[in-house]
Structure 1
Amino acid sequence: MYAQLGTNIFENLKSFTDYYRGSGVTYAEQPLIDDKPDLQFTGANLDELSLRMRLHVTFCNPEKELQSLKDSMNNGEVLPLLYGNGKLAGSFVITDIRERIEDVDGVGNVFSYLVDVELKEYVAKDKLQSQQAENRKNATAVGNKKPVAQKKNNPSTCATTISGIITKVKNHSDAINGTVLLGGGSLTTEGKFETSSHLTAIKLLCQDLIKRTGDSSSCAYGSDGLSGSAESTLSASDSFTASLPVMQPDIILQKNSDLVSAVADLKRNGQSFLTSSILRK
């Protein structure tokens, strides 16, 4: 995940293409007789963010994603902005959304939006009240009062990690498949770049998976089926990458089909890990 704005998650190709953050302060002017006014520092202004993002049918549902942002704006939701590295950039409200249609078919089905979102920082008015509420939530029991129940977070397991890798490979493959089928095997310059990016990600994920099957401390150790299907997916990815400079639709369609088949086999061989991750074993 690259970032999360409220419940809106941005990852892989669905991320910010432009990001601007403005900060400032305010000074009050004190008029003086027969002299220039004095300036008095009064405090910091609210930060403002300008985000641009591309919502394309190859990696998301553009209409659904755009409507989610509009709902957050129209409902006055306060949205925390959290990055994938765990850094909290603050809380914001959406003040303006501008959309531009980039790609649409003859009957009005939109394939791609370019969306500009304006946000303004939101600061809690009563910090003392917020702090007291947080203290009550984390307090130990006093007298006959019980502490607020805390949600238990299960630790990540080896099976969860393997399952996550396989799921990411499948997601990248689905994105490629959507791009290829949308153009009937013909790739635009942007489509070629996106496909190449997804193939690179698949290659790195498969290499990681193969490494784990050879690690005696991993739950995937000795899983020949998983290792073999990961190697087949890696080979299909490399072959697809090598065919991109040629840009022949029939070859692109065949390489895409080979990759889809290899990933389906990878998912079958990893089904036990997917099941274990759900059961938290």
Structure 2
Amino acid sequence: MWGKFGEVIFQLVKTPQSLNRLNRAKFSRISIFKEKEKLHFTGLEPEQVEMSINFHYSFCNPAKEVEKLKEYLEKGESYLLIIGDYVKGKFVIEELREEVERTDKNGNPLKILVNLILREDGLGNQS
């Protein structure tokens, strides 16, 4: 297993093509008369993870896999994100974009590329 988000397991063709992580610091700005603003570190922003995943009919039912992810998005709940042997924390799906790259003659998807933006949930209302 390459990784897992909720009940969606990433392996073989379902392994993300790309994975980007963004970590940011938060600062408050303090205005001082006739001087440059001073910055005061106030903590960290929730981590953001972007990933692109191919779902191919040879290894799964692409439409069902995408439907699971859409359900997670619509519920707005957080789920564990596991990459390799490491639990990265609880994340919500903030954005889901899908591109149907191939269909059969009836229009059923055979290959779907999904781009996800996950945001770390500091409260962790995990399901």
Q: Which bin holds the TM-score, normalised by the shorter protein? A: over 0.9
The Cα offsets for residues 88-116 of structure 1, whole Å up to 9 and x where unpaired, read as 11110001100111111333111111110
- The equivalences for 1:19-168 within 5 A come to 19-85=19-85, 87-124=86-123
Question: How far apart are residue 40 of structure 1 and its match?
Answer: 0.8
CA distance in 1, matches of 2:4, 2:25: 27
Which runs of 5 or more residues in structure 2 are unaligned? none
Question: How far apart are residue 31 of structure 1 and its match?
Answer: 0.7
- The equivalences for 1:126-275 within 5 A come to none
Question: How far apart are residue 47 of structure 1 and its match?
Answer: 0.5
**TM-score in terms of structure 2 length:** 0.92
The Cα offsets for residues 3-46 of structure 1, whole Å up to 9 and x where unpaired, read as 11111111122111110000010111111111111111111111
Letter in 2 for 1:76: G
Question: How far apart are residue 56 of structure 1 and its match?
Answer: 0.7
Equivalent position SS for 1:13: helix
Question: How far apart are residue 83 of structure 1 and its match?
Answer: 2.8
CA distance in 1, matches of 2:18, 2:4: 15
Question: How far apart are residue 119 of structure 1 and its match?
Answer: 0.6
CA distance in 1, matches of 2:57, 2:77: 26
Q: C-alpha root-mean-square deviation of aligned residues, in Å?
A: 1.2
The Cα offsets for residues 187-213 of structure 1, whole Å up to 9 and x where unpaired, read as xxxxxxxxxxxxxxxxxxxxxxxxxxx
Equivalent position SS for 1:35: coil
Is the counterpart of residue 4 in structure 1 residue 11 in structure 2? no
The Cα offsets for residues 129-185 of structure 1, whole Å up to 9 and x where unpaired, read as xxxxxxxxxxxxxxxxxxxxxxxxxxxxxxxxxxxxxxxxxxxxxxxxxxxxxxxxx
The Cα offsets for residues 187-244 of structure 1, whole Å up to 9 and x where unpaired, read as xxxxxxxxxxxxxxxxxxxxxxxxxxxxxxxxxxxxxxxxxxxxxxxxxxxxxxxxxx
Question: How far apart are residue 59 of structure 1 and its match?
Answer: 0.7
Letter in 1 for 2:5: L
Question: How far apart are residue 84 of structure 1 and its match?
Answer: 3.5
**TM-score in terms of structure 1 length:** 0.43
CA distance in 2, matches of 1:122, 1:64: 25
Question: How far apart are residue 124 of structure 1 and its match?
Answer: 2.4
Higher helix share: 1
CA distance in 1, matches of 2:111, 2:105: 14
Question: How far apart are residue 82 of structure 1 and its match?
Answer: 1.5
